[in-house]
Chain A
């Protein structure tokens, strides 16, 4: 009874530590972008306004009570599925794949919305009953994640498909399925790898082959990886200094403002800079996990833990790709890469986390 007298001080449902982390990341992002974008102030201002929009989305979502959100989850998920089918039927084709839906006023990417809708739906489904889930419910949960994943893979957008699928799988992991099953599934996937190989598009297969041996095609498909590694390696411990990177400025580095911006960061700020950047990410991830531990109710804790893990996957996959640990997959570096759509999804993600954390008192029964 006394506990209700204890008040947690939240300003407008925002979590200050998270906010601090996000804000420092955005600043770093804009500074790197100025250099990577060829010192074009218009690009930086454009991105700054997108960030402002992202922060407003985060703020708006943080105001919502998790119970309230839970009520809407099945509808959002169903709408997302319908939109995904529509994209395949009548979507806009850009750069050889069908990802966009033209709504007249603006173009919309339903797969982006699924990055949040899938983990929310799996959570909503599993949180109804005691955990761990029964085998039948487990299979349904897997299907909830698998169907949109396959629809997105068909666009084809393998990167997003993997992110969406894994977000659903993380929920299942946190729901506590036995380790036996996890390892069993891992072994099965490894066994089925040759089958997947035949399902991949030519360009996807090529990416993997080139990843295994980038020097085989230094001017063709391996160009990205080789040039990116040169940028990172030549940065050294202290870096070449802001605006002094030659790789991106002489246009050796492709996509230097989007997927490969981490390479520019490495070249100009070196290992020292990266360690600072990584510590901010670790701070955010840890804070996220703390929020998940504190979360009350199965829905809130499953959702928050899976969202934080997805964030980690973003960071790991992007950095891994830039430094040649992973094949080239189009995944942006959270809050640093240039671009608007994924930024908004990401900030919505943080909005959910903050909402879960700051509505906590009201959840207790």
Chain B
């Protein structure tokens, strides 16, 4: 009892003590705060009242400003030193909003001195809202010398309006090679979030596509700074100190522009993609996607109408077919599928499959038809590739199973990115059971394996993947990564630094001679007596290897005949051709896809052959005149 009473009293007195203590502390803290703030006021009094004069003078004399010096962007050349991208001086009219009294009137007055259209004014007003009042906002780009002169005379009438000179990216060859070179454009808001703002403080442009984007860091260079003395309006009077910018490095491409423009002329009338690689180095010799567009349009912001036209065109000129066009590879995969059969020990060179013109799975009625209704008869690998027999590969794919097929084709870059040094590459698709479960949420059917064996069904490949697979085969698995850029030269040291190709492990097959078996089968396609593209090899001065392919655009029902004449051009099959030459020491590998071209051997094949002729035969008459676009032969083949 007593103890409890005592404790209660103790707690009670404690509460009283606690209260007093707390109130004391609060008052002390409050007084200390007031003291602190008084200290601020005293200090302010010193600065703003006692030393006001001194600081006013300093403020008025405050003329030292730090200005960024943008680096000049590196040039781009082809492998022979042909200039592909440079910087040209251009003049623009800029306005500092803070220094203009009546913006609308100034604009009206300016219209009397030089031509200003709606687009300029709309863009100007949009930027006006985004920028700070004391930043200059460009009103018109690309002034002619005449306009510069006319404005300079009248400049006194327009306070806050001035002419700025800047360097602009220029692509002297226009559209040629645009899908590899890309272009620069004005930095947009999303990009501002990502880039190193200090380094871009003087730059308005950055790479948006192609090597211009991929090698942005090297091409851009490093910003410099200068300390300048300005007047009260911020105009520069004198330079005090300078840290010069480090210019961007020049970029040399592997692309041979004469070959590139030859290729572009070949497919000028088509919607098509052509890639040529050097199988020994991985160099991209030509990369053409047609139709194309002029990158110069994008440099200072393309006008919306022109952009809409490009974007909405049925022919999709902005679409990079080489990297992003995903087509069913069709029969072009056959040599690779055949190799998988050897590798897994399911077929030998001499294994034969009977082709009656169709193939069925056990207990199923569906007939998987061969393109040749009457059948090819007894086929081994060599003849199956030469004549593009479907049944051999239906049967082989079924025996392999989709997962082994997927694994093997992956080594040849089917279904995975080639990691070319260009942005935006698509990965194509090489299906597997796991893929179908994950993406389609469904089980794999054996019938789907069968058609995968001839590159149909879910299978999709980009032209660059086809070219890499071909180059890999031609080099016995030693192919490196495809590289558009050859070297960067550092303008300061003039030392060439070769763009490194990441080491790629060589693909090893169970037996080294399988490579030759596959290559000889592809040789027979063009040089064999029954080859599907034997017309191409007939008069060739060198021996080469190739494979035709057709990708269906519309599904054809069983027992329905494909009649090219009856089907609108847009529904024709895509024509494909892969090849490399010369046979014993390949120097070029080519992949051609002609959208709705119809015939692999008739349309895509001749293109590939001419590309190889041009590259391998420097004395060929092809070097003299621009080639004629090829005629379409509307037949279907494999």
A residues near B (Cβ < 8 Å) are 37-42, 130-132, 170, 173-174, 176, 219, 227, 229-237, 246-247, 249-252, 266, 270-271, 274-275, 278, 281-282, 285-286, 289, 292-293, 298, 301, 305, 309, 312, 315-316, 319-320, 323-325
Q: Besides A131-B22, A281-B37, A305-B29, 18 other CB < 8 A contacts?
A: A40-B130, A41-B129, A130-B11, A131-B18, A230-B59, A230-B62, A232-B44, A234-B56, A234-B59, A247-B62, A250-B65, A252-B65, A266-B48, A278-B41, A285-B30, A305-B25, A316-B36, A325-B43
Q: Is B192 positioned at the interface, with any CB of A under 8 Å from its CB?
A: no
Q: Is B45 positioned at the interface, with any CB of A under 8 Å from its CB?
A: yes
B30 touches A289 (CB 8 A): yes
Given contacts A230-B59, A232-B47, contact A219 B37 (CB under 8 A): no
Q: Which of A38, A170, A174, A309 contacts B134 (CB 8 A)?
A: A38
Across-interface contacts of A325 in B (CB, < 8 A): 39-40, 43
Write the chain B residue with the least CB distance to A306: B29
Across-interface contacts of A319 in B (CB, < 8 A): 40
Write the chain B residue with the least CB distance to A179: B28
Across-interface contacts of A42 in B (CB, < 8 A): 129-130
Given contacts A232-B44, A271-B48, contact A176 B11 (CB under 8 A): no
B58 touches A323 (CB 8 A): no
A237 touches B48 (CB 8 A): yes
B37 touches A176 (CB 8 A): no
Least Cβ–Cβ distance between A236 and chain B, in angstroms = 5
B22 touches A236 (CB 8 A): no
Across-interface contacts of B54 in A (CB, < 8 A): 233
Report, as a range, how many residues of chain B touch the other chain.
35 or more
Least Cβ–Cβ distance between B444 and chain A, in angstroms = 33
Across-interface contacts of B47 in A (CB, < 8 A): 229, 232-233, 323
Given contacts A251-B65, A275-B41, contact A285 B18 (CB under 8 A): no
28 A-B interface contacts by CB (under 8 A): A38-B134, A39-B98, A40-B132, A41-B129, A131-B14, A173-B29, A174-B25, A174-B29, A232-B55, A233-B47, A234-B52, A234-B58, A246-B62, A249-B98, A252-B62, A278-B40, A286-B30, A289-B29, A301-B22, A305-B25, A312-B33, A312-B36, A316-B36, A319-B40, A320-B40, A323-B47, A324-B43, A325-B39
CA A315 – CA B38 in complex, angstroms?
A: 12
CA A131 – CA B54 in complex, angstroms?
A: 53
Interface stretch, picked from B227-235, B360-368, B538-546, is B227-235
Across-interface contacts of B26 in A (CB, < 8 A): 174, 289, 292-293, 305
Write the chain B residue with the least CB distance to A289: B30
Across-interface contacts of B15 in A (CB, < 8 A): 130
A39 touches B132 (CB 8 A): yes
Across-interface contacts of A298 in B (CB, < 8 A): 18
Given contacts A176-B22, A251-B65, A305-B29, contact A236 B44 (CB under 8 A): no
Least Cβ–Cβ distance between B236 and chain A, in angstroms = 12
CA A365 – CA B234 in complex, angstroms?
A: 68
CA A293 – CA B20 in complex, angstroms?
A: 11
Write the chain A residue with the least CB distance to B50: A233
Q: Is B34 positioned at the interface, with any CB of A under 8 Å from its CB?
A: yes
Least Cβ–Cβ distance between A242 and chain B, in angstroms = 13
Q: Which 7 A-B pairs have the closest CB atoms?
A: A233-B55, A38-B132, A234-B59, A176-B21, A233-B47, A39-B133, A234-B55
Across-interface contacts of A271 in B (CB, < 8 A): 44-45, 48-49
Q: Is B23 positioned at the interface, with any CB of A under 8 Å from its CB?
A: yes
Least Cβ–Cβ distance between B573 and chain A, in angstroms = 44
Q: Which of B29, B44, B62, B135 is the most central at the interface, judged by chain A CB atoms within 10 Å of its CB?
A: B44
CA A285 – CA B34 in complex, angstroms?
A: 10
Q: Is B259 positioned at the interface, with any CB of A under 8 Å from its CB?
A: no
Across-interface contacts of A282 in B (CB, < 8 A): 34, 37
CA A176 – CA B129 in complex, angstroms?
A: 55
Across-interface contacts of B132 in A (CB, < 8 A): 37-40
A176 touches B48 (CB 8 A): no
CA A262 – CA B515 in complex, angstroms?
A: 75
A316 touches B37 (CB 8 A): yes
CA A286 – CA B11 in complex, angstroms?
A: 31
B56 touches A236 (CB 8 A): yes
CA A302 – CA B232 in complex, angstroms?
A: 53
B51 touches A233 (CB 8 A): yes
B40 touches A323 (CB 8 A): yes
Write the chain A residue with the least CB distance to B13: A130
Write the chain B residue with the least CB distance to A131: B18
CA A40 – CA B59 in complex, angstroms?
A: 24
Q: Is B297 positioned at the interface, with any CB of A under 8 Å from its CB?
A: no
Q: Is B64 positioned at the interface, with any CB of A under 8 Å from its CB?
A: yes
CA A252 – CA B230 in complex, angstroms?
A: 11
Least Cβ–Cβ distance between B41 and chain A, in angstroms = 7
Across-interface contacts of A38 in B (CB, < 8 A): 131-135
Least Cβ–Cβ distance between B43 and chain A, in angstroms = 5
Across-interface contacts of A315 in B (CB, < 8 A): 37
Least Cβ–Cβ distance between B193 and chain A, in angstroms = 11
Across-interface contacts of A235 in B (CB, < 8 A): 48
Across-interface contacts of B34 in A (CB, < 8 A): 282
CA A323 – CA B45 in complex, angstroms?
A: 11
A270 touches B48 (CB 8 A): yes
Q: Which of A236, A286, A293 contacts B48 (CB 8 A)?
A: A236
Across-interface contacts of B234 in A (CB, < 8 A): 250
CA A219 – CA B15 in complex, angstroms?
A: 58
Write the chain A residue with the least CB distance to B55: A233
Given contacts A131-B21, A285-B30, A289-B26, contact A230 B64 (CB under 8 A): no
Least Cβ–Cβ distance between B98 and chain A, in angstroms = 7
CA A309 – CA B33 in complex, angstroms?
A: 8
CA A170 – CA B47 in complex, angstroms?
A: 31
Least Cβ–Cβ distance between A13 and chain B, in angstroms = 23
Across-interface contacts of B230 in A (CB, < 8 A): 250
Write the chain B residue with the least CB distance to A270: B48
CA A234 – CA B48 in complex, angstroms?
A: 7
CA A343 – CA B547 in complex, angstroms?
A: 67
Across-interface contacts of B22 in A (CB, < 8 A): 131, 174, 176, 301, 305
CA A234 – CA B232 in complex, angstroms?
A: 14
Across-interface contacts of A289 in B (CB, < 8 A): 26, 29-30
A233 touches B25 (CB 8 A): no
Across-interface contacts of B227 in A (CB, < 8 A): 219
* Interface bits B49-82 vs A (CB < 8 Å: 1, else 0): 1011011101110101110000000000000000
Write the chain B residue with the least CB distance to A286: B30
B59 touches A246 (CB 8 A): yes
CA A26 – CA B452 in complex, angstroms?
A: 67
A293 touches B51 (CB 8 A): no
A246 touches B37 (CB 8 A): no
Least Cβ–Cβ distance between B605 and chain A, in angstroms = 50
Least Cβ–Cβ distance between A296 and chain B, in angstroms = 11
B25 touches A173 (CB 8 A): yes
Across-interface contacts of B56 in A (CB, < 8 A): 233-234, 236
Given contacts A42-B130, A229-B55, contact A237 B40 (CB under 8 A): no
CA A325 – CA B46 in complex, angstroms?
A: 12
B29 touches A309 (CB 8 A): yes
Across-interface contacts of A37 in B (CB, < 8 A): 132
CA A266 – CA B45 in complex, angstroms?
A: 12
CA A365 – CA B251 in complex, angstroms?
A: 81
Across-interface contacts of A266 in B (CB, < 8 A): 44, 48
